[in-house]
Structure 1
């Protein structure tokens, strides 16, 4: 007599999420195939954090798209220092701060965009220039954008230091997210109005999980960021005080609306 096959109760859920659900078991552990896949994903995530980041290639990619860019350096001299001393990734070197200060102009820049590898160089390499291009293309023509700043080994707080050094009203940083077990190429964007040292996450807005497969498409992320930047400049705030329904597209603003 043949055994009756039981329906898999997880079959409908697996296509809906990249998370590991309903993996089954072998005795008191996972099936061998699932256990090996989990270990492989963990190894990929660790390797992704330590991957190389070619900042010059990002600058060249932006130039090919017609977007001017400059290089800057954080206080983190290498990957080991960056991982062991997070605060070093939040600060520019004195030389880079001086270089960005030389970019200041009148009227001031409305926005400066930063691209950094963060904890996932792959995310910044593959998606950074695409998001940046879509963001800048989506801004109203009367918003003044500084050259993009490409800074290896940056943390979220770098947005404050770069924005302040460039004298911009608003700063946005595109940063590689910490790799997980289902995605190693996620990019996040953090926006800060009136950037200056001492700002916290409460003063910032974030759009996360920017990646083509299973996340927010880079071009769509750039479009939404353009809306958020426009709204932030108009209302002269960011963070918990800024509530925006994204999706309607940025509106053209007069200089008086953007602020002084």
Structure 2
């Protein structure tokens, strides 16, 4: 009887392991799909497209997902750089060109890092750990909980979307055949994809998203200004004298002139 129980337990464990292995084997490092035109919503209110890097789509993408706990080793995040001009920007929405198995409204972690010699630094200028993300078949629209104000400079947009593989499949941030600025980077801290990229590393080195496409596709929405970038600091404000002060000045000047005139007349006498 004991032997039969042991055999049964071993069989169940083997079946669970086999199912996990098969599921893990279904996770991909690239998403080959037809190039589709993203359908981004129109900016709200006075917002405009501040930055648009959605041209030259490669028809591929990098894993960009916070999986359920059983797949934590596969959690991955992409990042790409952009430049804010003088005057600064205030960003309220991030649009990604992306693909997914089953569309979902979920949350996403968005970090905007400063630049550290061509890669993201450890310093975040803005952070939204659970921003609302509408993930459709062709794109992801992320609404930041609070606007992100940036001064002039180079920054990195990093995004990781919260999606369970078991119900919605994989999420891929679509990539680009051409490069603007620095090459995009990718990280898989648990190294479930066996790329060795456990810190932010150029995507081509990681071999993800096809292994040859240097940039990622995204838009930044918001308004110009608010970051203070490129502004020249002004000196202290100099207040003009009031009418009463002018009267006192002129009175003092008049008395001084009368005094000088009197001294000159005495010297002549």
Question: Does the pair score TM above 0.5?
Answer: no
Instruction: Pick 1 or 2: higher relative contact order, CA cutoff 8 A, min separation 6.
Output: 2
* TM-score using structure 2 length: 0.29
More strand by share: 2
* TM-score using structure 1 length: 0.30
- Larger radius of gyration between Structure 1 and Structure 2: 2
